[in-house]
């Protein structure tokens, strides 16, 4: 059996959704590379961030990467365009002068190309220079995930760039979970699993916009929704699920606004877990729920992949872009404007009372996404075999 040694640069110690992404991607790579033992060496991308300040994309990194058979960067939202100090304008700070010395085949795997946190003419120009290089050299393969990234590439850089970038499903659609016992589900009839993102609140809510609301105003309306559902469905339990530590800010605020009796008898909070085992546990909890609501990308991606009816709570554009790309925009509700409560209420009750049409649609969508991912992996295998030469079994 041929061995493929992969240096995988990504987030492994951050948002648990990233772990779900890697789980699904790797499980399909294993199937799509039969007869190949893929050995991953994980390198945490946050070690390259200024906040951690441990590593740099420099000659030492290139020397390390050149010792592997494949460099895999992603998945994750690493093609953000706000990073002014980066030589590419993004988190992936690999300018052409470094790429020249990078001889290892490199796949930029399912990255988010995201201008929503801001961008400038300078960052876009630097990223365009990066794209010019990697798209012109055969040892690089560029792909983005299905969160609106390809549309952003078309809008910002034009079709001549976007047409040469692959769009693939996020690996979270295919995450591998483990059957576990969850104290959060003990005694519950039906379960509503909710994730409320607690980071970037100044971006997620802006009361100064026309009909805009603050985070506090959203919570007041959302509490009314939750209390109404718990009142009308006596066997329903609410489980609040954090993905990162900041999510406890919203969890705490939600609980503070709820009826004390309901908090003590009908609400539970899942633990904050990390890594492969953590995602296998947390997303099994999602899998055993009856309805999922959330405004994190992987809350929605994984619910869809696991076949659980979901409602995307939109206060960041990639959530609505996700549902647009899978052809179900009606499952997403904008929560940054007044009057969002009625639509969420209707979707939630529909899902709790008749989930089967939604489940069937999700199943069909994921079959199509799986075919897309398998096709990309087939292309990836052929690309890699061509670089490695005739002696390869890839």
Give the per-residue pLDDT at 187.
Answer: 77
Q: Stretch 130-157: mean pLDDT, rounded? A: 96
Give the per-residue pLDDT at 221.
Answer: 96
CA dist 133 → 74, 97, 136 (Å): 19, 10, 5
Q: Where in the chain are the domains? A: 2-174+367-388, 183-353
Q: Stretch 127-149: mean pLDDT, rounded? A: 97
**CATH pick for 2-174+367-388 out of 1.10.3470, 3.30.1540, 3.30.410, 3.40.50:** 3.40.50
Distance between CA atoms of residues 146 and 113, nearest Å: 10
Fold of 183-353: Rossmann fold (3.40.50)
Query: 3-class DSSP state for residue 256?
Result: helix
- Mind listing the pLDDT tens digit for each residue in 330-345? 999 999 999 999 999 9
DSSP 142-170: EEEETTTHHHHHHHHH-HHHHTTSEEE--
Residue 75 preceded by cis peptide, ω within 30:
yes
Give the per-residue pLDDT at 393.
Answer: 62
pLDDT band at 388 (very low <50, low <70, confident <90, very high): confident
Distance between CA atoms of residues 176 and 27, nearest Å: 8
pLDDT band at 198 (very low <50, low <70, confident <90, very high): confident
Q: Tell me the average pLDDT of the chain.
A: 95
In this predicted structure, the answer to whether residue 375 has a pLDDT above a threshold of 90 is yes
| Structure-block tokens of residue 299 | 């809350």
Give the per-residue pLDDT at 208.
Answer: 78
2-174+367-388 against 183-353: fold identical: yes
| Structure-block tokens of residue 315 | 């206060």
pLDDT band at 202 (very low <50, low <70, confident <90, very high): confident
- Mind listing the pLDDT tens digit for each residue in 74-103? 989 999 999 999 999 999 999 999 999 999
Q: Which of 116-125, 209-218, 364-373 has the lowest mean pLDDT?
A: 209-218
Tell me phi and psi for residue 119, to 5 degrees: -160, 165
- Mind listing the pLDDT tens digit for each residue in 303-318? 999 999 999 999 999 9
The model's pTM = 0.94
In this predicted structure, the answer to whether residue 391 has a pLDDT above a threshold of 60 is no
| Structure-block tokens of residue 269 | 């909070």
């Amino acid at each position: 059996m041929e061995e493929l040694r992969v240096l995988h640069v990504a987030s492994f110690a951050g948002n648990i959704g990233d772990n779900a992404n890697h789980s699904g991607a790797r499980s399909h790579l294993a199937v799509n590379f039969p007869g190949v033992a893929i050995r991953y060496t994980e390198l945490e991308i946050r070690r390259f961030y200024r906040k951690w300040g441990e590593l740099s994309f420099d000659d030492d990194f290139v020397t390390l990467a050149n010792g592997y058979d494949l460099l895999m960067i992603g998945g994750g939202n690493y093609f953000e365009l706000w990073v002014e100090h980066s030589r590419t304008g993004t988190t992936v700070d690999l300018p052409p002068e470094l790429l020249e010395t990078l001889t290892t085949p490199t796949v930029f795997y399912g990255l988010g190309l995201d201008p929503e946190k801001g961008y400038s003419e300078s960052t876009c120009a630097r990223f365009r220079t990066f794209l010019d290089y990697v798209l012109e050299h055969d040892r690089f393969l560029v792909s983005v995930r299905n969160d609106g990234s390809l549309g952003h590439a078309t809008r910002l850089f034009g079709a001549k760039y976007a047409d040469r970038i692959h769009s693939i499903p996020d690996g979270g659609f295919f995450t591998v979970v483990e059957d576990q016992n969850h104290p959060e589900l003990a005694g519950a009839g039906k379960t509503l699993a909710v994730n409320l993102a607690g980071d970037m609140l100044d971006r997620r809510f802006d009361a100064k916009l026309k009909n805009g609301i603050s985070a506090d105003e959203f919570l007041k309306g959302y509490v009314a929704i939750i209390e109404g559902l718990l009142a009308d469905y006596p066997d329903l339990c609410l489980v609040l699920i954090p993905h990162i530590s900041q999510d406890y800010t919203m969890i705490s605020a939600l609980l503070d606004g709820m009826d004390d009796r309901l908090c003590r008898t009908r609400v539970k909070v899942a633990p904050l877990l990390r890594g492969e085992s953590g995602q296998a546990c947390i997303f099994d909890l999602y899998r055993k729920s009856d309805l999922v609501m959330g405004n994190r990308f992987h809350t929605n991606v994984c619910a869809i992949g696991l076949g659980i009816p979901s409602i995307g709570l939109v206060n960041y554009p990639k959530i609505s872009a996700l549902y647009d790309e899978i052809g179900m925009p009606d499952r997403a509700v904008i929560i940054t404007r007044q009057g969002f409560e009625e639509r969420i209420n209707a979707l939630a009750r529909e899902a709790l009372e008749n989930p089967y049409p939604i489940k069937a649609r999700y199943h069909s969508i994921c079959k199509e996404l799986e075919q897309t991912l398998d096709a990309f992996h087939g292309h990836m295998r052929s690309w890699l075999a061509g670089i490695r030469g005739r002696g390869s079994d890839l």
